[in-house]
Structure 1
C-alpha cells in the first residue's frame, strides 16, 4: 500500500497493492497495522457503511460536529464516482479549500477524510457501490452539511446539473458560510 498526498492538510489517498492473475485480482481494503505504519495514525474504525447509487446521484456535502465528528476511509467497490472533500476546520491552513478525486473499481484508490471535513460524492457510472469506514458512530443531532452548489466553494461535479439526483434533505442544506458559523 502506498500513501499519496493531497493539497489538503491531513487528507490523503491510499493506493493498494493489487495482486492479479488469470483468475482476477485481490487486494486488502484495510489492514490496521499497515494503515498505522504508513499513515502514523492509530484510528479505530467503528462503523462500516455502503451505499448503492445510480448515475447522477449526488450525496453530500455532509459532516458531523463536535465530539461526534468522523474520520472516514472511503472507496468504490463498483463503478465510478467523483469524491469531494472540503476542509471546514477554522484553525487549518487549508480551511475552506476543496479537493476532488475520481474513485473507481479499476484503480481501487481510497481517500482518507479526516475529522473536520465536509464530504460528498456523485456517481459518474451507471451505478456505484460506495463503501466507507468511520471512526465514530453516526449521530443525527451532530449532523451538518453544506449545499452542493454553494457559490463560495464553486465545486465542479463533472456532470450537467440536469443529471443531478439530489435528496430533498441535501437540497435544503445551508451555504458554506452559514454551515461554518
Structure 2
C-alpha cells in the first residue's frame, strides 16, 4: 500500500475504544476497570511516526442506558488521553455517541447519525481535522465498526477478533487479532 501523505488532507487511524485500545469488560467507565491491551502504545507510536492522526470513535450506549454519565465518560477519556501523552502519543480527537434507539432513556433514546454503523463520528472528525477518509484506516472489533468505516468511505478496515484466523481478508475488511497486528499488516 502507498501510505505516504497526500496533499488533499491528512490521514488518520480511527480506533474503536473497547476491544481495540482497552479490554472490553462491558461498559467500562472507571479508571480502575480500564485495562490497556498489550501492544497498544507501541502500535500507536508507529501510527504517529508514520504521520497519521489518531482518532478514537466509540459508541457509548452505557451513557444512554443510564449506567454512567457523560461526565464520568469524559473523566475516563481525559485520563486515557493523558496515558497516551505520557507514552509520547497524541490522540487528535475522541468522538463518542451516547444514544441508543431501543435501550436509551430520556434524551438518549433516539436514532443517531453518529452511532456506528452510521458514519457520523468519522465524518465529523474528518471535517474537524481535515482528514482524507479514503486514505485513512479504521480498526474496530464489531461489524458496526466495519460498516461505519465503509459508510464513511474508509478503504482500509481491520476487524479485531480473537477467533482463529483461517482467512484474513474478507470482502471488505481484514481480520487481525490486535491493533498491533493491524498496524503491522497495514505498514507491511
State the TM-score, normalizing by the size of structure 2.
Answer: 0.28
Query: Per residue, is there more helix in 1 or in 2?
Result: 2
Query: Per residue, is there more strand in 1 or in 2?
Result: 1
State the TM-score, normalizing by the size of structure 1.
Answer: 0.28
